A and B are shown apart, each in its own frame.
Chain A
Amino acid sequence: MQLLNTLLIGITAGSIYALMAIAFVLVWRSTRVVNFAQAGMALLSTYFGYEAVSRIGSFWVALPVAMIGGAIFAALVELILMRMLVKHASSGPIAGVAPIIATLGLLGVIRAVISMIWGGQDLRIVAPISNNGFTINGSTLVFSPLKLLILVVVVILLILLSVLFQKTNLGLALRASAHAPEIARLSGVRVDAVRTLGWALAGAAGAVAGLFQTVNGNGNFSPDSIEFSLLLVSGFIAAVIGGLDSLLGAVLGGLFLGISISFVLIYVSSGLFFIAPFVILLVVLFVRPQGIIGVKAGRRA
């Protein structure tokens, strides 16, 4: 029973990490930037969602509101900050690290502005359904209707995303601009617009991850909540495990990370919550440096 519990908790947490990892991968594929502000954007979207919940009262309105808000914000970041960055900081010793530093700065700015607008205290989003575990044969699982719901929503989003990428012209344009921007441009794809779209999709995915991370925890969140630092680190690690370039890899990486953390917490020590992702990342980097879905070029981004 404990084994099943561990596995189910891991899969739920992992599916949230997977969404975050997808956000990282989408941004990486479209602009070759690891967006360290991703968690800040997810946090901001969660505040959008909170505003929607407190006005309209339904989590099901909050979710799309957060997604759209997150998408618009991410698109603006790409349009303004990232394009300026390409223009100004593409030479000299700083060029390699400029995007990292800029997105990190953005993370700080987002956090500070959120604290100024909403204050630093805990706010609360109530989960749409119960987080009390299912009962089977008299024993209670940790797995709850809420966790099931999260899984279902994440799976639906993943299916939508893969349909978008595999079956539509837009998806073809997204893939083409990621893999061969020059050729895509020559065949009439508006690569710049597609890049912005990649960021917007990432913003939406991050928004869902942020909301679910909040309700899957105790429902409280604040600008400084460690949950979001964890989301940032876990999403990044999941993306790296998956190879940083593949959506499928991101999903597998998320699940792998979620399940491994869950096993470490339950079978080793619950105090390792924050250090476990780092150790798992190191192990993965040493054992399988090309990620689960192998990338031939290796890790030299």
Chain B
Amino acid sequence: MKKESTHLPLFILGGVILYFLSGMVDELRVYQGASIAVYVIAISSLILLTGYSGQVSLGHGALLAIGAYSAAISKNELGFPVLASFIVAVIITAAGGALLGAAAARLSGPYLAGTTLALAVGLPSLANQFEILGGEQGLLFDVGFPPLSLGEDFTQYKWFFWIAGLAALISMWLVNNILKSRYGRTWRAGRANDVAAQLAGINTGRSKVLAFTISAGIAGLSGALLSMTIGTVSPSAFPLALSFSLLTGAVLAGITTLGGVILGAFVLVAIPEVADVIAHRLGASEGVTTNLPGLIVSGLLILTVLFVPNGPVEQHRARKAKHEALLGSKHK
């Protein structure tokens, strides 16, 4: 068997393309690009957890919130530099994920889904409990201006985009290689058949906790980046709807297809804009206009599960494989 490459050059190439792209589009697109990068990270963490280790999280938004608050507090209160505050976000959220994972490893399917849902409903309300979390208004999280060396006309949004884009590339590369490693295979084995995996000598409990920990760390990073693009950290930035959107993105990406995350993230960012266009075209009332994005997100979720249950990318790959197999048999 040939040794799998780590695809490092591919990711570096991606970075170079993003670098030039960010110089060519207008401010709004750059901001949306930053949002896509944030979603890419969040969705890839969900794919690692749900698609590979088979644990459903309906409360990923709560993990993002933990990351965002850890970053803001470590930066504001403890005076950490920005990069360090991102690392703190990863570490704290991973620790939280390990705790949650220890509980989760005893659960499966709907039980875990409900538990994470309860967390997502409950956690944001804690912001009003402790003064340090800043209540409903939340905390400021300002990563500062872009360094002057980048030039006078280097905008704030472009700076966000660079940070988020770089983080997305690094975490995609990491996740991609973790999923291809022994751990990825362990998770898939445990998901496909718990008992068989245990017979093969896998400690499925421990492997699930590990998946939860890694996934949470990545989710924490995306939470910190999300609050960077907003500028503040507040409970209202992490509603239940965020958790559901992320799940939609993951399902759209194809729950086991890491390569699909860009598609999933892109769709999530594009939906509000598309909904706006549709609503204007139809001349819809304000009530319809404001709720159309929500309807589309949820509708897509249902339709995807029904008609392309394993994601469009996977579906295409399966069809292609079938096609090639057919061709192959003809040649014989």
Question: In the bound complex, do residue A100 and residue B113 qualify as a contact, i.e. CB atoms below 8 Å apart?
Answer: yes
Residue A64 at the chain B interface, CB threshold 8 Å: no
Question: In the bound complex, do residue A111 and residue B122 qualify as a contact, i.e. CB atoms below 8 Å apart?
Answer: no
Question: In the bound complex, do residue A84 and residue B240 qualify as a contact, i.e. CB atoms below 8 Å apart?
Answer: no
Size of chain A's interface in residues, with CB distance under 8 A? 58
Question: In the bound complex, do residue B302 and residue A236 qualify as a contact, i.e. CB atoms below 8 Å apart?
Answer: no
Residue A133 at the chain B interface, CB threshold 8 Å: no
Q: Which of A43-51, A112-120, A146-154, A181-189 contacts B (4 or more CB under 8 A)?
A: A112-120
Residue B256 at the chain A interface, CB threshold 8 Å: yes
Residue B312 at the chain A interface, CB threshold 8 Å: no
Residue A233 at the chain B interface, CB threshold 8 Å: yes
Residue A22 at the chain B interface, CB threshold 8 Å: no
Residue A57 at the chain B interface, CB threshold 8 Å: no
Q: Which of B100-108, B167-175, B217-225 contacts A (4 or more CB under 8 A)?
A: B100-108
Q: Check A116/B129 contact, CB under 8 A, given A36-B58, A101-B247.
A: no
CB distance from A27 to the nearest CB of B (A): 11
CB distance from A236 to the nearest CB of B (A): 4
Question: In the bound complex, do residue A100 and residue B290 qualify as a contact, i.e. CB atoms below 8 Å apart?
Answer: no
Residue B306 at the chain A interface, CB threshold 8 Å: yes
Q: Check A115/B287 contact, CB under 8 A, given A100-B110, A278-B119.
A: yes
Mark B71-112 against chain A: 1 for CB-CB distance below 8 A, else 0. Answer: 000000000000000000000000000000001001111110
Question: In the bound complex, do residue A271 and residue B301 qualify as a contact, i.e. CB atoms below 8 Å apart?
Answer: no
Question: In the bound complex, do residue B118 and residue A237 qualify as a contact, i.e. CB atoms below 8 Å apart?
Answer: yes
Residue B309 at the chain A interface, CB threshold 8 Å: yes
State the CA gap A102–B309 with chains docked (Å): 10
Question: In the bound complex, do residue A108 and residue B297 qualify as a contact, i.e. CB atoms below 8 Å apart?
Answer: yes
Mark B284-318 against chain A: 1 for CB-CB distance below 8 A, else 0. Answer: 00011011101101111110011101100000000
State the CA gap A299–B123 with chains docked (Å): 24
A-B contact count (CB 8 A): 176
Mark A78-91 against chain B: 1 for CB-CB distance below 8 A, else 0. Answer: 00010011001100
State the CA gap A45–B103 with chains docked (Å): 34
CB < 8 Å neighbour of B309 from A98, A237, A286: A98
Residue A106 at the chain B interface, CB threshold 8 Å: yes
Question: In the bound complex, do residue B129 and residue A36 qualify as a contact, i.e. CB atoms below 8 Å apart?
Answer: no
Chain A residue nearest to B124 (CB atoms) is A274
Q: Check A282/B103 contact, CB under 8 A, given A97-B109, A275-B125.
A: yes
CB < 8 Å neighbour of B251 from A96, A101, A236, A281: A101
Residue B117 at the chain A interface, CB threshold 8 Å: yes
State the CA gap A108–B248 with chains docked (Å): 11
CB distance from B117 to the nearest CB of A (A): 6
Which secondary structure dominates where chain A touches chain B? helix
Contacts of B108 on A, CB cut-off 8 Å?
299-301
Question: In the bound complex, do residue B305 and residue A102 qualify as a contact, i.e. CB atoms below 8 Å apart?
Answer: yes
Question: In the bound complex, do residue A109 and residue B295 qualify as a contact, i.e. CB atoms below 8 Å apart?
Answer: yes
Residue B266 at the chain A interface, CB threshold 8 Å: no
CB distance from A265 to the nearest CB of B (A): 13
State the CA gap A285–B123 with chains docked (Å): 18
Interface members, chain A 190-226 (any B CB < 8 Å)? 226
Question: In the bound complex, do residue B122 and residue A274 qualify as a contact, i.e. CB atoms below 8 Å apart?
Answer: yes
State the CA gap A120–B287 with chains docked (Å): 7
Size of chain B's interface in residues, with CB distance under 8 A? 55
CB distance from A26 to the nearest CB of B (A): 15
Residue A93 at the chain B interface, CB threshold 8 Å: yes
Question: In the bound complex, do residue B191 and residue A299 qualify as a contact, i.e. CB atoms below 8 Å apart?
Answer: no
Q: Check A108/B294 contact, CB under 8 A, given A93-B191, A233-B117, A236-B114.
A: yes
Contacts of A88 on B, CB cut-off 8 Å?
305-307, 309
CB < 8 Å neighbour of A98 from B118, B122, B126, B305: B305
Residue B56 at the chain A interface, CB threshold 8 Å: yes
Q: Check A120/B129 contact, CB under 8 A, given A36-B117, A96-B109, A285-B115.
A: no
CB < 8 Å neighbour of B305 from A89, A108, A116, A289: A89
CB distance from A271 to the nearest CB of B (A): 5
State the CA gap A193–B287 with chains docked (Å): 37
Contacts of B103 on A, CB cut-off 8 Å?
282, 285-286
Contacts of A275 on B, CB cut-off 8 Å?
122-123, 125-126
CB distance from B287 to the nearest CB of A (A): 5
Question: In the bound complex, do residue B294 and residue A240 qualify as a contact, i.e. CB atoms below 8 Å apart?
Answer: no
Question: Which 4 pairs, one residue from A and one from B, show the smallest C-beta to C-beta distance?
Answer: A108-B298, A105-B301, A34-B110, A112-B295
Residues of chain A at the chain B interface (Cβ within 8 Å): 28, 33-34, 36, 81, 84-85, 88-89, 92-98, 100-102, 104-109, 111-113, 115-116, 119-120, 226, 229-230, 232-233, 236-237, 240, 244, 269, 271-278, 281-282, 285-286, 289, 299-301
Residues of chain B at the chain A interface (Cβ within 8 Å): 50-51, 54, 56, 58, 103, 106-111, 113-115, 117-119, 121-126, 128-129, 191-192, 194, 240-241, 244, 247-248, 251, 255-256, 287-288, 290-292, 294-295, 297-302, 305-307, 309-310
22 contacts between A and B (CB under 8 A): A34-B110, A36-B114, A88-B305, A88-B306, A89-B306, A94-B309, A97-B50, A97-B255, A100-B113, A101-B301, A102-B302, A104-B247, A108-B241, A108-B244, A115-B294, A119-B287, A233-B118, A271-B125, A275-B122, A281-B115, A285-B106, A299-B107
